[in-house]
Each structure stands twice: as C-alpha cells, then as structure tokens.
Amino acid sequence: MGAPGGGVASLPCAYRAAAPFEATLETLVPGEPVLNIIVTVKQVVDPEAPLSAFKIDPEARRAILGPGIPPVLNPYDEYALEAALRIRDLHQCKVTAISMGTKLAKAVLRKCLAAGADELVLLEDDVFQDLDSYSTALILAAAIKKIGKCELALTGRLAADTNAGQVGSSIAEIMGLPSVTLARKVEITDGRLKVERLVSDGYEVVEAPLPALVTVSHELGELRRVSLRDLTAAQGKQVTTWRCQDLGIVSLPPKRLEMLKLYIPPKETRCQIMEGKTDDEAAVNLALRLREARIL
C-alpha cells in the first residue's frame, strides 16, 4: 500500500517503507535463538451479542452495546495469538501483544497475558479514534519499530467489526516485510517461516525468510482455554502504555477512507397469497410465481 500525497512524511525517515525492518536474534541457550513474536490484537464490540443489544450512534457512526455487555478481543486476533503460542511451545520465544485504541478495556486485553503472552503493550491516545486502515497500520508499524526486536508479526485476517482485512498487509508494506495472508498453520523451520495458506480449493505451502508478517485465519483453531487462575494472575502483571508522541509520530496523514453512514438495514417483508379454486390450482399458481421470480 503506497502513501499518496506523501502521507508517510509525517513520520521520521526510519519508518519509511523504503528502509526494510531488520531484526536481530538473541540467544538464551547456545545454538537456539530466541524468536521475538509480536501479535496485534483489537478490542471490538462482541460479535456474538444479540442484535437487540446493539444501538447505532448516527452522529458518531459507531455501534454501541447496552450495559453489561463488555467488549471482547477480536476473534481473528485470538487465532493469531494462538499461532504465536504454538510456535513458543516448540521454540524459545518471547510473545508480545500490542493493542491500539481509545478507552481500552485493560481487563479484556489482559486475556492475552492470561493465555500466555509475555508482555502487553497498549497504544492509547485520543487521536487514535476513528482511524482508517492505513493510519492504524502506520501506528502499529511505529510501535513494532519501537519495540525493536521482531522476527515474526502476526495479525488476524480481519477485524470482526469492520471486516476490512487491510491492516496486516499494510503493516508489512510500511515496514518492508514479506507478507503471507490467510494462514491456517504457521511454523518456524530452520530459521525460516513456513505457512499453510488457504486458497479456494484447499491450501498451499509458502516459505519466507524472517522477519515476516502473517495474517491468520480461523482455520488455525481457537485460542487455548484460559483458566480463572490465569486471568487472576494476569491482573497483577505490568502493562506498558504508549501515547502517540511516544511512537515518534508528529501527525497522522489524512484519511484515505471515510465512513459516510452506519445503520442497521431495515427489514422488509411482503406476503402474497396464492389463490386457486382447488389446492392443485393454488400449487400451480405458486410454481408459476416462483418461476417468474427465478427461484425455480
């Protein structure tokens, strides 16, 4: 994704896509490097909440849930976190989760720590509200740069609220990383990335050098179960919070996409009675009507 109109110019040159991101492997045990994995997670309105619980703010163009229904982690980002934890089951890894937004529910996002992430970084600032996909990717890329050590970045294939599916690949483009989308399995083999990538009639196996970015699909599997004990322990872990200025971002570029209207589609129902002197005649009239409507 390019930057029409010089949108990246508001960031220091180190964040330009022309300067590919380079990661350095650490070593805890001789002969086995430590992989630094960063997973982006988003706080979203619960997609499983009943429709009756939703309200639309037409002025703010935002969905609002009623009291007692908290936000949740984007399900696709949970799959990405599970991919990171599965890699850590086999290799020495440090898994860092990062989330961006305003009024973040820390209790919800601490689920990442409860599931097994080593660190949680929150990017929280009033200017992070109502951003488009490009600006979101720009901020997340800046945060990954600030963390500094990242051999693998993982994102969900899309967010459950917008279904845009643009942020992951945009981060890769901004950072100059190879990107593999729609992953159903992610592995690290001999210091290289190996991904089973979904295609229309099955999957293909893709390999790429590290560092790289992968967007993860639901076919990978659900996030491992988190116990109450894990959730309680996560509440005591330290969380790092950065504002926009901490990322070295002077100003954000103009929006490339603007939502014009957000609304619940109206439901319209029409009923037509098929008449006939007999049941057979009514059935024939029904069949003819369905054929006219190209249903039969």
**CATH number for 130:** 3.40.50.620
Whether residues 242 and 279 fall in one domain: no
β-bridge mates for residue 213, sequence order? 153, 179
Instruction: Tell me, yes or no, whether 224 and 286 share the same domain.
Output: no
Q: What is the DSSP letter of 246?
A: G
Residue 152 zone, left/alpha/beta (φ > 0; ψ -120 to 50; rest): beta
- Is residue 189 left, alpha or beta, with left meaning phi > 0 and alpha meaning psi from -120 to 50? beta
How far apart are alpha carbons 138 and 247 in whole angstroms?
10
Reported as a pLDDT band with limits 50, 70 and 90, residue 64 is confident
Query: What digits encode the pLDDT tens for the residues 126-158?
Result: 999 889 999 999 999 999 999 999 999 999 999
Residue 162, C-beta contacts closer than 8 angstroms, at least 6 positions apart: 133
Q: Do 137 and 234 belong together in one domain?
A: yes
pLDDT at 16 over 70: no
The reply to whether 119 and 55 lie within a common domain is: yes
Same domain, 42 and 164: yes
User: Does residue 255 lie within any of the structural domains?
Assistant: no
Tell me, yes or no, whether 79 lies in a domain. yes
In a domain, 254, yes or no: no
Q: Are residues 292 and 187 in the same domain?
A: no
Domain-embedded: residue 261: no
Cis preceding-peptide flag for 71 (omega within 30 of 0): no
CA angle 150-155-158, nearest 5°?
160
Measured CA to CA, the distance from residue 276 to residue 283 in angstroms comes to: 8
Q: Which residues contact 293 (CB under 8 A, 6 or more apart)?
A: none
Counted domains in the chain: 2
> Is residue 256 a part of any domain in this protein?
no
Whether 212 is in a domain gets the answer: yes
pLDDT reported for residue 37: 98
Residue 148, domain extent: 4-247
The reported pLDDT for the residue numbered 23 is 54
